[in-house]
Structure 1
Amino acid sequence: MNYSTLKKTVALSFASLMAVGAAKAQTSTTTTTSTTDSTASRSIGTAKVFGGRGQYKTFSLGINAGVLSPVVAIGGVHDYTDQNIELGYGVSARWQLAHSFGLQLDGHGGSVSGDNFSATNRYRDGMQDYDTRIWSATLSGVVNVATIDFIRRKNSVNFFVTGGAGMVWYHPTYHTANGAFGEYLNADGDKHYVKSLVIPVGAGVKFRLSDAVALNLGYTMNFTDDDNLDALKRGYPSRDKYSYGYGGLEFTLGGAGKPNLDWVNPVAMMYDELYDAALRQEVEALKGRVTNVENAVNDLKKDSDGDGVSDQFDKCPNTPAGTVVDGAGCPIKFPDTVATTGGAAAYSNIQFDFDSSVLRTSSYSVLDAVSADMRSNTSKTVTLNGYASSEGTAAHNMRLSKDRANSVKTYLVNSGVEARRVKVKGLGETNPIADNSTEEGRVQNRRVEFQQK
């Protein structure tokens, strides 16, 4: 193709695309101007932040045209001294899976050509020029990487990158050094199209002309998996490649009442959803329910007399400060001999059953008196000496005596005595206070003694 003619063709193509886009944009602008910004608000408002893809228009069809070249922007080897610019064209179908990602199926056609006219004698490696007809079909991921119009209710300009894979079919024709024409043919004389894997990688920018029409400008580098595209295999490993710079229109299909997922502004949509009147009413109602729950919890926690039992469960309200109460909030009554702080009865020995470290219920009154005394005298400490009778081995009795002392400590700590003020010792069957040869004596020896400091 004559280069001057090609330039005129491409320029005319772009002018046509822009003219169609401008007309669509003017129509869209006229419509939205008459309805003010509320139209945009309603359009976005029909979708919810977590409403799924079904609430948007997500399927698009596109057409494009541009220029094909046997070289790519990142450089690399071209088997000919000169590359030509040829016309390319294509169609696309895209499914937008999210605001930032979609899948696109592309079909492209055109020619890729080059020559050795700037080489000595206008040929190299026995070749003068080539012109290869190509057709390709690819599937790519399209990622919207940025927008420069995010402060508007609808985005208007998106930048994107693409990457995928597919197949390319091509038919090379060429002239040799002596000007002889050649081409790839099948055994029956028909044109032979070579088939190869192709990897397209590209980038571009998309302009919103209306909610259903966009103008795409992009550039794609296509890497093939063989070295036959230019009808010449060099003497070293290489892979042919070509690039496609294009402009095109994309038409999004779907009902007019649905917004286009491509142009949704998630920030504006979330703003609209948060300031929806119904939602605000629900939030206010929820606040009221939370307040009621908080008030109920505060009522449950309220303890007017400070005895540690909430008013809801306090059967003896208004007990004097410092009164030792039970779980119902009522004062615990101790016998006079026990209630005397520091009295001997308060620190009486705690007795245990045979081979047991479980506290008897009859010991609780003594332990409660000890707890009350220690909580009112915070400087006092106590050592719990555990003992056992002589039945069993000495090692077993040593463990048993320590378990008995720990049972007493656990009770005191659970009643409010600081653990650091209570020490335990297991003394086994030593220091009997009665005769171990009789059962009456052994009963007295199964004990825990209090040693105060």
Structure 2
Amino acid sequence: MKKTFPLWVTGMMTLIAPLAALAQTTPGSVSSPGIFNGSKDYKTWSIGVNGGLLAPVSPTGGSNDFTKWKASAGYGAYVKWQILHSLGIRADYIGGKLKADNSKELGNDKQPIRDYSSYETKLKWSAALSAVVNVATINWLYKQNFVQIYVSAGAGLAGYNPTKTTNNGTEVDYKPDGTIKELIIPIGAGLKFKLSDMINLDLGYTMHFLDGDNLDGYAYGRNNDKYSYGYAGLEFSLGPSHKPQLAWNNPAKTMYDDLAAQKAALQQELESTRNTNARLTADVDKLLKDTDGDGVSDFFDKCPGTAQGSKVDGGGCDLPKIDTTPKVVVQQVTDEDRRLVRDAIQNLEFQTGKASIKPSSYPSLDRVAELLKAKNFSLKLAGHTDDVGTDSKNMILSKDRAESVKQYLVGKGANPSRIEATGYGETQPIASNKTAAGRQKNRRVEFTLY
């Protein structure tokens, strides 16, 4: 009996395949949408009815808890929503009966010794929600294919009631008071043939794995029960007749044809405008021609023949010559200027051992900054220290103090490029470093105005 079921399915597919090949849709029988921009141009909903054989067997796991399974009539229906060209969601319903007995002899050529001789389970209903994926199409030469290979997987719930028969012929209900409900995992595959724009032929085989070992009302072994359904049926697409079914549309072929059509149209448009473009090019060349090279085209040049490189107005005529020679005004250093500098030197004080200028020195330095800005003088700043401390530290301190004065003057608006700051450390004393008064004089910043 095990060989009967697969042979039945194979035979049905063999008989129907030639019929489906003849049912290929003639190009142009329905509208042919362009590059995919959503499902609004297609029919995406369909319903299906089918009939076939139910059996408590699976190619991946044997025949449950009885040795010989039997095929029984089954029936089903589904509603399908096609989301993409190759992906859909399907809600299935299946009903029928499942049968098996222990008449098959085992390896010792004897029938097994078990408590029950056979069973019959009424599959009252089996409802599942599955994803359906089109893994291959047979014809890639047409936008609308006519054969599909698909696989499916999902989850659902089955309701059933097993009845067992003991070895002495007594029937026993496994659950007299109701229906068993178990989680199922359906996994299937199939072939679909397009008979017309509205009807498809559907051949499939689905294995159902149960989350329980009670489908036959008998627990023998450690594996959960399972059952399979091989079927043939019709699928009816829903929606306007002028729209194609999304599942049958070949997106690669559609895109190729649309791009080829766009390319041909563009080439035709370019060819039709070739002469116009040539005339426009000639007119543009004439409009841009500039014989005298003054930057004004001959079309607008009112003064042709101007010298190369001459500056001209919008009409191509020479502009009036303007003397742009800069006038240099030399400022003389006056006695009043020198007095301002001496006053700044005398009032300049720093924090002890630091380059920070005391606020009391700001007013005189502000006057020097104004002088530099007003007359654009140059100023040399020379920093000096006494001999207290090391030579290197004194050299750094003198440089930092001169730079501190420069930064202050620049901050007041003086030109930094006209101020030079140099440090000499203790190398140029103007008084003896042996007395406090002498060291005070040596700690100085000299200003040279020029």
> TM-score if structure 1 supplies the norm length?
0.58
Q: Tell me which of 43, 46, 52 is aligned to 2:31.
A: 43
Answer yes or no: is the 8 Å Cα contact 2:210–2:225 preserved in 1. yes
Is 2:143 aligned against 1:157?
no
Map 1:118-267 onto structure 2 (within 5 A).
Answer: 118-119=104-105, 122-134=111-123, 135-187=125-177, 192-234=178-220, 236=222, 238-267=223-252
| CA shift in 2, pair 1:393/1:145, >3 Å | farther
Map 1:355-370 onto structure 2 (within 5 A).
Answer: none
Answer yes or no: is the 8 Å Cα contact 1:389–1:443 preserved in 2. no
Which residue of 1 is the match for residue 72 of structure 2? Answer: 86
The Cα of 1:255 is off from its aligned counterpart by 0.8
Is 2:80 aligned against 1:74?
no
Q: Tell me which of 268, 279, 283 is aligned to 2:253.
A: 268
| CA shift in 2, pair 1:442/1:81, >3 Å | farther
Secondary structure of the structure 2 residue equivalent to 1:93: strand
Answer yes or no: is the 8 Å Cα contact 1:103–1:141 preserved in 2. yes
Is 2:42 aligned against 1:56?
yes
Q: What is the distance in 2 between the residues matched to 1:200 and 1:213?
A: 25
The Cα of 1:193 is off from its aligned counterpart by 1.6
Letter in 2 for 1:180: T
Q: What is the distance in 1 between the residues matched to 2:381 and 2:200?
A: 93
Alpha-carbon deviations, 1:263-302, whole Å to 9, x = none? Answer: 11213322443355799469969xx9xx9xxx9xxx9xx9
Which residue of 2 is the match for residue 348 of structure 1? Answer: none
Map 1:94-105 onto structure 2 (within 5 A).
Answer: 94-105=80-91
Answer yes or no: is the 8 Å Cα contact 1:274–1:280 preserved in 2. no
Q: What is the distance in 1 between the residues matched to 2:168 and 2:141?
A: 63
Answer yes or no: is the 8 Å Cα contact 1:273–1:279 preserved in 2. no
Is 2:423 aligned against 1:430?
yes
Q: Tell me which of 90, 98, 110 is aligned to 1:112.
A: 98
Structure 1, unpaired ranges of 5+: 305-309, 321-331, 338-352, 364-386, 403-426, 445-453
Q: What is the distance in 1 between the residues matched to 2:449 and 2:229?
A: 102
Q: What is the distance in 1 between the residues matched to 2:400 and 2:119?
A: 102
The Cα of 1:54 is off from its aligned counterpart by 1.4
| CA shift in 2, pair 1:148/1:235, >3 Å | closer
Answer yes or no: is the 8 Å Cα contact 2:401–2:445 preserved in 1. no
Greater Rg over alpha carbons, structure: 2
The Cα of 1:52 is off from its aligned counterpart by 1.4
Q: What is the distance in 2 between the residues matched to 1:395 and 1:77?
A: 98
> TM-score if structure 2 supplies the norm length?
0.58
The Cα of 1:399 is off from its aligned counterpart by 9.8
Letter in 1 for 2:117: Q
Alpha-carbon deviations, 1:121-150, whole Å to 9, x = none? Answer: 745331111111112000000011111211
The Cα of 1:397 is off from its aligned counterpart by 6.2
| CA shift in 2, pair 1:227/1:388, >3 Å | farther
| CA shift in 2, pair 1:75/1:121, >3 Å | closer
The Cα of 1:234 is off from its aligned counterpart by 2.6
Identical positions, percent: 36
Q: What is the distance in 2 between the residues matched to 1:397 and 1:430?
A: 7
Q: What is the distance in 2 between the residues matched to 1:233 and 1:401?
A: 101
Q: What is the distance in 1 between the residues matched to 2:63 and 2:381?
A: 96
Q: How many residues are aligned here? A: 332
RMSD, aligned CA? 5.4
The Cα of 1:250 is off from its aligned counterpart by 1.0
Letter in 1 for 2:259: L
Structure 2, unpaired ranges of 5+: 298-305, 311-322, 329-364, 385-396, 408-419, 431-441
